[in-house]
Amino acid sequence: MMKKLIAGNWKMNGNRTMVRTLISEVVNALDAEQRILDRADIAVFPPALYLSDVRHTLYGFPVISFGMQDISEYEDGAYTGDISASMAADAACTYVILGHSERRQYHGETNEKVKLKAELLLAEDITPIICVGETESEREMGNALKVVGEQLESCIPVIKNNYRDIVVAYEPVWAIGTGKTALPEDIRVMHQFIREKLEDKVPDASKVRILYGGSMKPENAAEILHIQNVDGGLIGGASLKTDTFLAIAREA
């Protein structure tokens, strides 16, 4: 049975004290509740400045993976403010989030850039978490599957070896940070659709983890995480507090 992946995207939140405290609390809880780790892999995505704090706090307790919220499309050079895939590898990142709707909306991220970044990460043996999802107007017009299908076609590199090389996160844009959550049947249909589309891209699509993101919280985690083809969650606000993050992880 494939473990769920419970991933906390902290976005641009926190400070050094908060990071060290939260990680310490989560590690202590996981040490006391081995059952969680039997059923789920846990990962956190702090602001890049705090990666070293996460790594330092986890020293000797490798129960949580960590990664970045984005990387550069360039390998190196005069790109002020950018962080490359090789730098992410040097920082011991396991995952990197790509194509989040906030990156698409505020930073002009395109499907083509997401694919390029994914290829750079795979070359460094880092797993990209590739985000896809439709806007509210696209869903209302009946175009949700079409939009996500086009994103998958353009974003996913062709994988020739290991199915674990990628993770896909379905995040309906209208549900991110709004408190709205997609209906269970809509989630089921979309995740099944994503699974079918992946069959053209990866050797064993049945073993690619497909996460759901979009206002997942303790109150709805059990229902969502037990929908067919939901292999975990990409958690935003609820991952910033130890109790809510762990409450979601317990439902895996």
Q: How much of the chain, in percent, has pLDDT values that exceed 90?
A: 84
Residue 171: active-site member: yes
How much is the pTM?
A: 0.95
Write down the catalytic residue from 109, 134, 171, 251.
Answer: 171
Strand 127-132 and strand 209-212: the pairing is: unpaired
Residue 141 has pLDDT above 70, yes or no: yes
What is the domain class of 4-249 according to CATH?
alpha beta
CB 58 within 8 A of CB 27: yes
Mean pLDDT, rounded, of the chain? 94
Backbone angles phi, psi at 241, to 5 degrees: -125, 135
CA distance 100 to 83: 17
User: How does pLDDT run across 23-62, given as a tens digit for each residue?
Assistant: 999 999 999 999 999 999 999 999 999 999 999 999 888 8
AA letter at 93: C
Please report, to the nearest 10 degrees, the dihedral formed by the alpha carbons of residues 227, 233, 236, 242 taken in order: 110
CB atoms within 10 A of CB 112: 11
Question: Domain limits of the chain?
Answer: 4-249
Look up 100 and say whether it is catalytic: yes
Among the ranges given (90-99, 111-120, 148-157, 180-189), the one the predictor scored with the smallest mean pLDDT: 180-189
Catalytic site residue from 100, 109, 138, 191: 100
- The predicted model gives 203-218 an average pLDDT of 92
What pLDDT shows up at residue 138? 93
What percentage of the chain reaches a pLDDT higher than 70?
98
Task: Tell me what pLDDT residue 162 has.
Answer: 61
Q: What is the pLDDT of residue 164?
A: 61
pLDDT (tens digit per residue) in 158-201: 776 665 689 999 999 987 777 777 899 999 999 999 999 998 88
pLDDT tens digits for range 103-122:
999 999 999 999 999 999 99
